[in-house]
Each structure stands twice: as C-alpha cells, then as structure tokens.
Amino acid sequence: MSPADLNIILNGLDFPTSNRTLVDRSDNDDSGVYKITDDIAIVQTVDFITPVVDDPYVYGQIAAANSLSDIYAMGAKVNTVLNIVAYDSCHLTKEILHDILRGGMDKVKEAGGVVLGGHTIEDIEMKYGLSVTGTVHPNKILRNNTIKPGDKIILTKPLGMGVITTSIKADEAPQSAIDKAVFHMSYLNKSASEISVELGVNAMTDVTGFGLLGHLYEMINKNTSIELDFNSIPFISESFELAELGFFPGGSFRNERYFQPHINITNDTIPKYKLTLLYDAQTSGGLLISVPKDKADLLLNNLKLSGIEWAAIIGEVKDSKENNINIS
C-alpha cells in the first residue's frame, strides 16, 4: 500500500492517545512507543507477509525477521511476540504450517524473545507474521527523522530483495540470487541495532515496503536534505539483470510515483532500471543509520567486525531547506 493510500484511509480518524504515548502512527515511525515507568517504555509493532520463497521453514524465518526489524529500528530489545496466521487449509498441509511456525520461532529465540501465543484464521492466501512487543528506556528511543546535518548514512543490507522475490514467483530466479536473498532477508537486524545504540547514533529506520528512497525520505526533517552516492550503495548483484528484465513488485512502481517529486538525479549515467531498484519494495531489508560524521568510520568498522561486511556508507545529510534526496 502506498503512502498516498494510507493518507486517504487514515485521514480524519481520531486515534486514542494519552500523555504516556511517546510515539504513535502520526509520527510515521517504525513502531509505537508507550511509557510504563520513568525507566521503561514498551515498543509495539505488527507485520505479516505472504510467502516470498517456496520453503515453508525459510518463509517463517523471513516473515519473523521482517516483523522483528521494526523493534530494532527503534533501538529497542525484543521481549514477547504473538503469531499471526492466515492459513489456506485447502491447499496447504498442517505439516507446512508447522514448518512455517518453526521457522518463526527459531528467529524469535535468536532475538531473545518469547512466544506467548497467537491467532489463526482460514484464508485463501497464506499469510504469516508477528505482533511484537519490545522495551526501551523512554529517553533512548531512536527515531527515524532526527538526522542532523553532517551525519553519514549507513545501510546494513544490500538492495534487490523485491525483484528477486518477484522473480521467484515467476520461476525465473537463479539459485544464486535466491540463496543471497534468503540469507539477507532472514538475517536479524539485532546486532546492527545493538552496535548502533552502543556507539550512539542520531536516527535509525529499516528498509521495507517503501524502498530505499521512500524510507530515506521519511528520515528527512525540515532542516535537511540527503546526498546519496549511487556507486556506494550495496546491491545483490543478480538483482541488476532481474531488474532489467522487469521483475519489480507493484509496490516499487507505486513508490516511484509517490516519492519521485522529491528526488533529484545529477548522475545521468545510471540506467533507468538501476534507479528503479532504489524504489524497490524490500522484505526484511537492512537498517538505515544516521550517525555523526566523526563516528561513521568506527560504526562501519564495528558492523563489519560483527559479520555485517556488506554494510556501507551511502550518503550524507546536508543543511538544507529543500528537503530532497540528491543522487550523484
């Protein structure tokens, strides 16, 4: 669903709130945050997806990692989860659903959380995900739009998951692309978040349905623009050929139509299909981290030492009232 569609649906709705509400849907952030005590706030999110790969266990892992990511994007710790299942019992066996849930639970264990239960309905299309509750100190919440001029922008996973998962559905994805996409989509953003929190960063979000440029645009505030270096952005290499062949999910084109007015391209050597990859709707993408310039190299080094060797500095925040993303 595009941001424009969401605006229409939610326009005029009076969401209940209180003085303990620290972050809600009006903030366009990754999760809601509610203050419990002076030292504890709960962070809540929910997400579910249709199958993106054929293996049910792997699908469960990816769906869970995708749901957990919003907690990490807020700089929080995962505590409890509830399973959300829409199950096509006419075409899928109980053993398949068992494997999906097993994949999800293994990722929750890796996150250090617990599964309290869940809810299942019958549906014509399989869907699985999690409702997740995390915790964070009320004064240590990481927001998505608190970037500062001079910050460097770090991306912790390569792009390309959208075109790869679409090509999987068309039986056109090479095995090398599937293997790489599965690895990255099932990789938790836990370590990247913890390392960023420990070092101290200014803002953080994750790259999911709105694509790289959509989520980058959400990070911009009234005093900033972002300079993006296309050649520094990590991609799954096989995604270029699949993008050139047109295997984009529909959400990628909706992202392009909505966010394109805020994008300036100064590098005229970038092929159109590669630019569209910047709008590509991702599943369980990486974190976008806005870090003070003097900490950027140390953060990048720490991420790589932790095993996230594909992380990269992809841009810089500028002091600007234009509030655009400039791609060079």
CATH of the domain at 220: 3.90.650.10
Query: What is the distance between the alpha carbons of residues 325 and 48, in angstroms, rounded to a whole number?
Result: 29
Tokens representing 156 are 């912790």
Q: How far apart are CA 161 and CA 57, in angstroms?
A: 18
Boundary residue ending a domain (136, 164, 194): 136
Predicted pLDDT of residue 273: 96
Full residue range of the structural domain in which residue 34 is found: 3-136
156 in the same domain as 118: no
Residue 48 near residue 127, CB atoms below 8 Å: yes
Phi first, then psi, for residue 291 (nearest 5°) are -125, 140
CA 313 – CA 155 distance, rounded (Å): 7
Q: Is residue 199 part of a domain?
A: yes
Handedness of CA 95, 98, 102, 103 (dihedral sign): positive
Q: Is 317 helix (H, G, I), strand (E, B) or coil?
A: strand
Structure tokens given for 196? 């960023």
Strands (E), the chain: 21-23, 32-35, 41-49, 77-87, 114-122, 127-136, 152-155, 203-206, 224-228, 263-265, 287-291, 312-319, 325-327
Q: How many domains does the chain have?
A: 2
Predicted confidence (pLDDT) per residue in 183-242, tens digit: 999 999 999 999 999 999 999 999 999 999 999 999 999 999 999 999 999 999 999 999
Predicted local confidence at residue 15, as pLDDT: 86
State how beta strands 32-35 and 41-49 pair.
Answer: antiparallel
Instruction: In whole angstroms, give the CA distance from residue 283 to residue 162.
Output: 7
Regarding whether 128 and 24 lie in a shared domain, the answer is yes
Residues 119 and 172 in one domain: no
Helices (H), 93-174: 94-111, 161-169
| Residue 49 shares a structural domain with residue 191 | no
**Is position 217 within any domain?**
yes
Tell me: the pLDDT tens digits for 242-267? 999 999 999 999 999 999 999 999 98
Residues 212 and 256 in one domain: yes
**What pLDDT, on a 0 to 100 scale, did the predictor assign at position 195?**
98
Per-residue three-class SS string for 163-231: HHHHHHHCCCCCHHHHHHHHHHHCCCCHHHHHHHHHHCCCEEEECCCCHHHHHHHHHCCCCEEEEECHH
Considering the domain architecture, whether residues 222 and 246 belong to the same structural domain is answered as: yes
Angle between helices 293-305 and 190-199 (to 10 degrees): 140
In a domain, 144, yes or no: no
pLDDT tens string for the chain (328 positions)?
667 787 788 888 888 999 999 999 887 778 999 999 999 999 999 999 999 999 999 999 999 999 999 999 999 999 999 999 999 988 899 999 999 999 999 999 999 999 999 999 999 999 999 999 999 999 999 999 999 999 999 999 999 999 999 999 999 999 999 999 999 999 999 999 999 999 999 999 999 999 999 999 999 999 999 999 999 999 999 999 999 999 999 999 999 999 999 999 998 899 999 999 999 999 999 999 999 999 999 999 999 999 999 999 999 999 999 999 999 9
Shared domain check, 177 and 46: no
Q: Is residue 258 part of a domain?
A: yes
